[in-house]
Amino acid sequence: MARHLITSALPYINGVKHLGNLVGSMLPADVAARALRAQGHEVLAICATDEHGTPAELAALAEGVDVAEYCTRTHELQRSLGEQFGLSWDWFGRTSRPQNHRMTNHFARRLRDEGYLQVRATQQVYSVADGRFLPDRYVVGTCPNCGYVKARGDQCESCGKPLDPTDLIEPRSAVSGSTELEVRESQHVFLLQSVLSDRIREWVDSHDGWPQLTTSIAHKWLDEGLEDRGITRDLAWGVPVDPDDFPEAAGKVWYVWFDAPIGYLGATLEWAEDQHGEGTAESWATFERWWRTDRGAEDVTYTEFMAKDNVPFHTLSFPATLLGSGEPWKLVDRLKSFNWLTYYGGKFSTSDHRGVFMSDALDLLPADYWRWYLMANAPESDDSSFTWQLFGEAVNKDLVGTFGNLVNRTATQVSRHFGEVVPEGGEPGQEEADLWQRVDERLGEYLTHLDALEFRKATAALRALWAEGNGYLEVREPWKTVKVDRDRTACTLRNALDLLVVIAVASDPFVPASTATLRAAFPEVAWESLPLDAGLTTSARLAPGAPFVPPGLLFQKLDADVLAGWEQQFGGTP
């Protein structure tokens, strides 16, 4: 049994996440976690809401509520939606909790002591109308790189170029819209990434198994030259800077992109303290077992999941924090990054009422429909586009026509001719030997792709495994043979039921609610004794006469007029 730490990029707190957010981090992390647990490994899956920064303040301001109240409410909403989607976190924390505050200030002190932080006088945008400094996203204007007129003061959403508020053309306040802005001096803490650049490059280059998307982004930033990064902001909402540590920055908060990745550690500490009590030696030891390589984490494989826009922060800035601390913290081993999922080639947009968000999706269909489509079309090698036609094809061909069809036709034949028991009689022949050889091959392919975090290839191999069952039934034709050879029919259907047990184990990472329904059809199977490994096909054999409860239809076909109505409802083609 190996130990695996899994984190997904923290969903930002400003509202319900769309399907692109889901497939870019949280859903693949869950599939990986479920697969590793099914293989018998020890897994700790951690996520949290990212709650600091200007968008949280602006969202709360727009709703006329206190930002802390807004974040508490939205955290509960995101947690509930994630659970309804079957996301099996071990802990879903919050970056606003005291554990993350303590960890963030700890790293700031360590970086200062190691000589990697420096206080500098900077030129900041000040709004006369608002009577305050306007950090990053509080300033909007035209991007000097691509001309996008709604660029934010930290990054242009159109071209992706990192920006400072003073870079923007025709800047204005995101709070009041005022253009009465001045540039004034303000003291801020900087992380000296330029000094750490060689160490970061050496660490990045040590991971030759990372996806090309991950390494190309990291090397692009390194080759362009890492710049020192301001990691404090003139805000009220965030992790406060300890004035005893940095008196020049008293009254400021740490930059959200400094404290958010530390939130992985903060959320793990939340989990540990939930188990053993706040501030106890047991909770700290439990936390260190996953994060300190001198306290047990040396045998942990740490995997991060994120969309491509998060890659620079996780391959450069966050490692700079951990490496620069001078302490033996666990750094990521595998970093799985994704391209964009678009909506008909354009962006999902709350303001334009365009695209499907997690709450919308669950109002329409159960989570497994979406889980399957998203992972079968995950934007791994390139951007992928959601369309209702592709969604309907994935549901109707894969879930209904292949998986659901195999379960339904097998259950129907068994209950019709043998009652609600595993059929007894008949000896397996060459057809059965050929079937299980092919199943072994398909299962081997599936496990290989899962281990490599190749999700589209894994779903293709799983789909092929489902298809083997339908092909076997077509060859054996139990609906015909039952009239002339009951023993042969019993053997056929018993093997088909054995294959359903294999499929129930193998399919669980992708469609867990459906496999739970399928598992309930076999009440005497000891599922915990059936790990997802190469030996599954020999261990997943049913005893003749064991009870079998037909599970009913697992999936419903989606009609063209229903899909057309949803396309119209959610925006459709531009």
Give CA–CA dist 208/197, Å, rounded: 18
- Element holding 123 (H helix, E strand): strand 117-127
User: Tokens at residue 394, please?
Assistant: 């994935």
* Helices within 401-522 (DSSP H only): 405-418, 430-451, 455-476, 478-481, 486-506, 512-519
Give CA–CA dist 529/527, Å, rounded: 5
Give CA–CA dist 475/542, Å, rounded: 22
Tell me the pLDDT band of 208, cut-offs 50, 70 and 90. confident
Instruction: Give strand pairing partners of 300.
Output: 3
Q: Which residue do the tokens 């019709």 mark? A: 416
- With H, G, I as helix, E, B as strand and everything else as coil, classify residue 366: coil
CB 396 within 8 A of CB 54: no
Q: Which pLDDT score, from 0 to 100, does residue 354 have?
A: 81
What mean pLDDT, rounded, does the chain reach?
Answer: 95
Query: In the predicted model, what is the mean pLDDT of residues 294-299?
Result: 97
- The pLDDT tens digits for 434-460 are 999 999 999 999 999 999 999 999 999
CB 226 within 8 A of CB 197: yes
CB 468 within 8 A of CB 439: yes
Tell me the pLDDT band of 473, cut-offs 50, 70 and 90. very high
| Residues listed for the chain | 574
Tell how far CA 83 is from the center of its chain: 13
Which distant-in-sequence residues (6+ apart) come within 8 Å of 237 by Cβ? 52, 53, 56, 57, 67, 68, 253
Query: In the predicted model, what is the mean pLDDT of residues 488-513?
Result: 98
In the predicted structure, residue 477 carries a pLDDT above the cut 80: yes
User: Which class for 88: exposed (0-12), middle (13-18), buried (19 or more C-beta within 10 A)?
Assistant: middle
Tell me the pLDDT band of 574, cut-offs 50, 70 and 90. low
Q: Which residue do the tokens 């962006």 mark? A: 347
**Does the pTM exceed 0.85?**
yes
- Secondary structure (DSSP) of 385-412: EE-HHHHHHIIIIIIIIIIIHHHHHHHH
Give CA–CA dist 76/65, Å, rounded: 16
Which distant-in-sequence residues (6+ apart) come within 8 Å of 42 by Cβ? 1, 2, 3, 4
User: Tokens at residue 93, please?
Assistant: 């924390």
- Backbone angles phi and psi of 367, in degrees to 5: -60, -35
User: Tokens at residue 204, please?
Assistant: 């990045």
Q: Which pLDDT score, from 0 to 100, does residue 155 have?
A: 86
| Widest CA span in the chain | 92
Strand locations in 239-317 (E): 253-254, 300-307
Share of the chain above pLDDT 90, in %: 89
Instruction: Give strand pairing partners of 183.
Output: 125
Query: In the predicted model, what is the mean pLDDT of residues 324-338?
Result: 98
Query: In the predicted model, what is the mean pLDDT of residues 307-316?
Result: 95
- With H, G, I as helix, E, B as strand and everything else as coil, classify residue 334: strand
Query: In the predicted model, what is the mean pLDDT of residues 33-54?
Result: 97
Give CA–CA dist 444/457, Å, rounded: 12
Query: In the predicted model, what is the mean pLDDT of residues 196-204?
Result: 97
Q: Which pLDDT score, from 0 to 100, does residue 573 have?
A: 61
User: Tokens at residue 409, please?
Assistant: 């036709």
Closest by Cα among 304, 332, 312, 382 to 9: 304
User: Tokens at residue 287, please?
Assistant: 């936390």
3-12, 29-38, 157-166: least confident range: 157-166
Give CA–CA dist 436/472, Å, rounded: 10
- Element holding 343 (H helix, E strand): strand 341-343
Instruction: Give strand pairing partners of 346.
Output: 343
Residue of higher predicted confidence among 350 and 566: 566
In the predicted structure, residue 352 carries a pLDDT above the cut 90: no
Tell me the pLDDT band of 554, cut-offs 50, 70 and 90. very high
Which distant-in-sequence residues (6+ apart) come within 8 Å of 152 by Cβ? 136, 137, 139, 140, 163, 174
In the predicted structure, residue 408 carries a pLDDT above the cut 90: yes
In the predicted structure, residue 494 carries a pLDDT above the cut 80: yes
In the predicted structure, residue 164 carries a pLDDT above the cut 90: no
Closest by Cα among 518, 555, 514 to 540: 518
Tell me the pLDDT band of 465, cut-offs 50, 70 and 90. very high
Query: In the predicted model, what is the mean pLDDT of residues 37-46?
Result: 98
